[in-house]
Amino acid sequence: MSLFKRYFNKKKYDAAHTVTWSEDMPSKGLFFKRFKKHKLAVIGFFYLAIILLAAIFAPLLAPYNPNEITDAFGEGPSMAHWLGTDDIGRDILSRVLYAARVSLSVGIGAVVISSAIGAVLGLIAGYFGGIIDGIIMRITDIFMSFPYIMFILVVASIVGPGLTNIILILGILGWPGIARLVRGNVLAIKQSDYVKAGMALGYSTPRILFKHILPNTIAPILIYATSGVAGAILDEAALSFLGLGVQPPDASWGNMLSSAQSITILTDQPWLWIPPGIFILLTVLSINYIGDALRDALDPRNVK
């Protein structure tokens, strides 16, 4: 959530930094040229592609069924089990691979939901203004007043844990940031002459909103959503770590780390918790680097 909150949340920051992205979007060639300047983002992109493929093809790649109990109990890395096994004999590598599915689906699923809700509310608030805007923005303020992780924890404890619930909770509670961002952009785009031309041409409001305004605010939504994916992956991990996310026996990087709260596992079986931790770190790091490169490549103020 950290990046999520950091960039666009504060009203004053919004006001001072809202850029009309619609003008002079970089061409595809220029976009790639700028993106490629960020070497770490390119590396991150390839890393993510590999993780994504590994997650999709986990059943083919995993040496064992993730819940299968092998005859090695709590053993360290070996040729048979590259990352060792846990105390009940499950293969860690297989579990890490299957857990990638959880992390990526939470990250993407939650952000798709929150972006859709946030974009629609932001569009409506910014376009219609007045009382509608006031109500939507106050609701946004209300949702932002709850400390995010704590709010999620409370809701999760009431709704109950599980993968689908986590995606829904993160998705439904994560929209305020996007709504504010989209609203700010709509306010700027609404004043542009091509929107006025659309009105003069007698276009319907939905047509103006979704065909003329929304496509011109896609770039900032995309950048924001990228950091949102990173945030959602971290949130799911934290939730699962605390026992309120994905429930065992299903594997998630977060709940695999949870076992390290026991001092014997922390001390004597580091292979149980270090690999999932590293995977979260690298995945989130890659996404954040990509988000940063996107920002640079899509920013219309950037002339190079």
Query: Could you say which residues in the range 136-155 bind another protein, by CB under 8 A?
Result: 138-139, 141-151, 153-155
Per-residue binder mask for another protein (CB under 8 A), 91-120, x = binder:
------------------------------
Cα separation, 178 vs 180, whole angstroms: 5
Cα separation, 262 vs 243, whole angstroms: 14
Q: Is 46 in the site for another protein (CB under 8 A)?
A: no
E strand or H helix that includes residue 140: helix 130-145
Nearer to another protein, 64 or 216 (CB): 216
Cα separation, 6 vs 283, whole angstroms: 19
The backbone torsions φ and ψ at residue 91, rounded to the nearest 5 degrees and listed phi first, read: -75, 125
- Within residues 253-282, the interface with another protein by CB under 8 A covers 254, 257, 260-261, 263, 266-267, 270, 273, 277, 280-281
- Within residues 182-201, the interface with another protein by CB under 8 A covers 192-194, 196-201
Q: Is 241 in the site for another protein (CB under 8 A)?
A: yes
Cβ within 8 Å of residue 13, ≥6 positions away? none
Q: Is 33 in the site for another protein (CB under 8 A)?
A: no
Nearer to another protein, 79 or 201 (CB): 201
CB of residue 53 to another protein, shortest distance in Å: 21
Q: Is 225 in the site for another protein (CB under 8 A)?
A: no
Q: Is 90 in the site for another protein (CB under 8 A)?
A: no
CB of residue 96 to another protein, shortest distance in Å: 14
What 3-state DSSP class applies to 72?
coil
Q: Is 285 in the site for another protein (CB under 8 A)?
A: yes
Cα separation, 84 vs 249, whole angstroms: 17
E strand or H helix that includes residue 181: helix 176-190
Contacts with another protein by CB under 8 A: the residue count is 74
274: DSSP letter: H
Q: Is 131 in the site for another protein (CB under 8 A)?
A: no
Cα separation, 137 vs 141, whole angstroms: 6
- 57: number of Cβ within 10 Å: 11
CB of residue 161 to another protein, shortest distance in Å: 10
